[in-house]
Structure 1
Amino acid sequence: MIKRIRNSSEFTKNIFVLISGTGISQAIPIAISPILTRIYSPKDFGLLGLYISICSMFGIIVSLRYDAAIIQSDNDGEAKQLVVVSFISSLFFCLLLFLIILFFNERIATLLNNNDIRYWLFSVPLSVFLVSALYIITFWLNKKKRFLDMSVNRVINKSTDSAVSLSSGFIGLIRQGLLLGYILGQFVMITLLFKKILKDNFIFNKKRARLVIRKYKEYPRFFLPSTILSEISSNVFLILMSVFYGSVFTGFYALVFRVTYLPLGLVGNSIGEVYRQKANEHYLEFGNCKALFIKTFKTLFVIGLMPFLVLFFFSEYLFVFVFGPEWKTAGEIAKYFSFLIFFQFVSTPLSFTIFLNKSQKQEMVLQFLRTVFTILSILIGLHYKDNMLGIIIMVFVYCIYYIFNSLLQYRAAIGS
């Protein structure tokens, strides 16, 4: 097996390196989840899910999406200025976010219908900055093809997260354990990544920074609005679920997200990270990346099929057996979620293709429609007092979105 990998293409080797690291990093939290579900309640998982959704929603937009331009930059000099610009933007908006939380902490907690998150809101700006830093550094490492560094640090992140969550539960911190694990896992990983990239000598040059800001102005103009809509659509469901459905049902959803959607999504993203770098090369050289797109699409389809079938047919039984009878509702959610996970797994890793032919405007329309119908799905479930109905409608909306998004990606891949 190892010999075959050594003799394979650079594309396959890089995918193997990232998937190996991602696989190990995701195996750790999944392996300890049966223990965590017996230490922490659905309400505790709901609090963690709400916190992560808030941080994820802001973490990807505070850089104004200049981070996404790093891979497409013409040379390392431009890329380094984009890294610095992204960090400056992230720091500024995180400080602004801290001031907002400082003055409106109680009102935000009341709006979220979760008093438990009140004091944890003060750590949100730090977590948002760490999320943003991870995106920025990942794009830089991707450009430099340092995939091993990316893999190793993912394992360190999840190991720290899991160790803190378990030990906090055993010593009786309970509520604080899951959130402490998440924050410390982030902090340790980003600290180690900073040490690695500082050797690359990032020096801010005001004149060159202005040039790259102007050159890549389409990213904050078009990619940022699209990303905002995407993040609202992706995270508003859990946030509104917490507000209207309560933290217990949110906890069921958060566990499903933790052990199914997130691990498979990260495996898909690992393939996508290698694809982004290679697709950009193909597009610059040939004017299209059709062959690479089709090859990667088929790979994702085959890998995603087995998890889909297992979740659809056996999730209700597996969740009760593995996590305990208290989590039966989570198993039912996972059954419907299997469709969303499959379509997301196949489509999202290839989403970078859209930026190769500058199809951001069409993507933004799709994001807007997904956001509107996602919010409507929550309200329909609330109106009929049927939380699961809201889940089913949301899954349907997402599947339709990913199908149209894949068609848009293919059009970009063929160079039209």
Structure 2
Amino acid sequence: MSAIFISRVARVLVGTLGAQLITIGVTLLLVRLYSPAEMGAFSAWLSFATIFAVVVTGRYELAIFSTKEKDEFHAVIKLVVLLTVSISVLVASGLVLVAPLLDSLPSVVSDYWLGLTAVSLGLGANKLVLSLLTYQQSFNRLGGARVSLAACIAIAQVSAAYLVGGVAGLVYGQLFGVMVATALAAIWVGKPLISASATASWSMVKQSAVKYINFPKFSLPADLINTIASQIPVVLLAAKFGGESAGWFALTLKIMGAPISLLAASVLDVFKEQAARDYRDKGSCRSIFIKTFKLLAVLALPPFVAFWFVGEWAFGFIFGDEWAESGRYAVLMIPLFYMRFVVSPLSYTIYIAQRQNLDLVWQLTLLGLTVACFTLPDTVDSVLWLYSIGYAIMYFIYFWMSFYCTKGDAK
């Protein structure tokens, strides 16, 4: 593993570590300010916002790393901004038109539909600015952007607990935090880049939209399906076993997702830039793929083995007896979290090779598996164990698909 790669990972890691410490720290407050049922309702609402956030960019922000000319680079940025705003408006209009049908969805969705749309727009814009900071190799600012997002949401949600209270406090806190943090990250991207992108020609924007059509054609449905597969469990648990189960599950995902976001996401930010460069220049990114895999697999094993023995106790000790059940959920899902930690950053090679059709097939299979796991079993334990093992197997397949795509001749 090169010293430059490790140095870049470390720079992003510092910021991501700060963001995760803030998230975990504020969670200690939130679980005492909000009940499991309120956290479950908010998590269901945020699931819908997260799903819409995937749609608004058309996934064209991923095309930024495939551009070779400055004009094309600026055109793709302008395209993503236009799509984010336009699709967000369409989502808002669609929610208004189908309002009478929203009774079949969790009530929190119909109660806070406008905030849901605004958060989706903000999250989509945040994806763009983080991609731009990565492209610029501004890894210190990238880490700062992650910290600011976590900090802004944390401060807003804690403050809203006293000012508003209930689910509304969580919703409005999320909205305020996302908007402020995204605006700050946009400033860090730099006015010259924003100005150059704003003046990109419409003809180049259209050409770029056509040239990188595989991203909305394959990546968008694949990533949308993946997001639905990752977010729908909260909704299905709430519907089948009640809001408390959804709240416990949501806390499990947040806390167990922390190491994934902490290191795996930091590795991804650096890996995708270097892998894309190696793929363009050498026709293969297999060397950096293998080195990154070894790094992730070795780093992840000791903490996950230790958590198997102390996880349930740790949740109860840290978050209180009311949330101890989340720890039991987490232990059941260790195979899933380990495989996700190791494989998810490496799967970016599928985008580099533009083999999104393979990804789409995998995501469709994953969605079917997820729905089956959360609808067929009759107990929460059976649901989570089946989900964990099935997901781990799917990620094993995903690894070999990603490895296959590291060679430029993988067609």
TM over 0.5: yes
CA contact (8 A) 2:63 2:212 kept: yes
Structure 2 gap segments, 5+ residues each: none
Partner of residue 282 from structure 1, selected from 278, 284, 288: 278
Report which stretch shifted further, 76-85 or 255-264: 255-264
Cα drift, residue 34 of structure 1:
2.5
State the partner residue of 1:328: 324
Instruction: Confirm or deny that 1:35 pairs with 2:29.
Output: yes
Q: Which amino acid aligns with 1:404?
A: I
Q: Is the 8 A contact 2:115 2:172 kept in 1?
A: no
1:413 pairs with 2:406: yes
Q: Which residue is 1:403 aligned to?
A: 396
Is the counterpart of residue 122 in structure 1 residue 114 in structure 2? yes
Which residue does the alignment assign to 1:3?
A: none
| Contact 2:115 2:171 survives alignment (8 Å) | no
Q: Does 1:337 align with 2:333?
A: yes
Give the whole-Å Cα distance in 1 for the aligned partners of 2:179 and 2:100: 26
For 1:180 and 1:306, locate their aligned partners in 2 and report how far apart those are by CA, in whole Å.
38
Corresponding residue of 2:20: 26
Equivalent runs, 1:221-232 vs 2, <5 Å: 221-232=217-228
Equivalent pair of 2:31/2:319 in contact (CA under 8 Å):
yes
C-alpha contact 2:56 2:87 (8 A) present in aligned 1: yes
Measured against aligned partners, the alpha-carbon deviations of 1:77-136 in whole angstroms (never above 9, x if no partner) come to 21111111011112111111111222333532x222x32443212211111111111111
Aligned length: 404
* 2:224 maps to 1:242: no
Contact 1:79 1:140 in 2 (8 A): no
The Cα of 1:390 is off from its aligned counterpart by: 1.2
Q: What letter is aligned with 1:242? A: A
User: What TM-score, normalized to structure 2?
Assistant: 0.93
Q: 2:61 aligns with which of 53, 59, 67?
A: 67
Between the aligned partners of 1:172 and 1:237, the Cα distance in structure 2 is: 28
CA contact (8 A) 1:106 1:118 kept: no
Distance 2:113 2:296 in 1: 37
User: In the TM superposition, what is the alpha-carbon distance from 1:313 to its structure 2 partner?
Assistant: 1.6
Contact preservation (8 Å) 1:47, 1:117: no
Question: Match for residue 214 of structure 1?
Answer: 210
Counterpart in 1 of 2:346?
A: 350
Q: How does 1:315-394 map to 2 (within 5 A)?
A: 315-381=311-377, 384=378, 386-394=379-387
CA contact (8 A) 2:51 2:231 kept: yes
Select 1:136's aligned residue among 123, 128, 139: 128
Q: What is the aligned partner in structure 2 of residue 185 from structure 1?
A: 177
In structure 2, what is the Cα distance between the partners aligned to 1:328 and 1:38?
Answer: 13
Q: Which 4+ residue blocks in structure 1 deviate beyond 4 angstroms?
A: none
CA offsets 1:37-91 (integer angstroms, 9 cap, x no match): 1221101111221122111111122221111100111123211111110111121
> Is this contact kept in 1: 2:16–2:261, CA < 8 A?
no
Q: 1:218 to 1:394 in 2, by over 3 A?
A: same
Equivalent position amino acid for 2:333 in 1: F
SS at match of 2:65: coil
Cα offset for 1:349? 0.7
* 1:353–1:409 CA contact under 8 A, matched in 2: yes
Equivalent residue in structure 2 for 1:252, among 248, 253, 257: 248
Alpha-carbon distance in structure 1 between the residues aligned to 2:151 and 2:406: 37
The TM-score with structure 1 as length reference comes to 0.92
Corresponding residue for 1:146? 138
The percent of aligned pairs where both chains have the same amino acid is 23
Tell me which amino acid in the other structure corresponds to 2:401.
L
Equivalent residue letter for 2:122: L
The equivalent of 1:196 in structure 2 is: 188
Of the three residues 173, 176, 189, the one matched with 2:165 is: 173
Query: 2:319 & 2:300 partners in 1: Cα distance?
Result: 23
> Pairwise mapping of residues 299-318 of structure 1 onto structure 2 (< 5 A)?
299-318=295-314
Residues 1:330 and 1:48: Cα distance change in structure 2 (over 3 Å): same
Paired with 1:408 and 1:332, the residues of 2 have a C-alpha distance of 32
SS in structure 1 of the partner of residue 175 of structure 2: helix
| Counterpart amino acid of residue 164 in structure 1 | A
Query: 1:4 aligns to what?
Result: none
- The alpha-carbon distance between structure 1 residues 219 and 306, as it changes in their structure 2 partners (threshold 3 A), is same
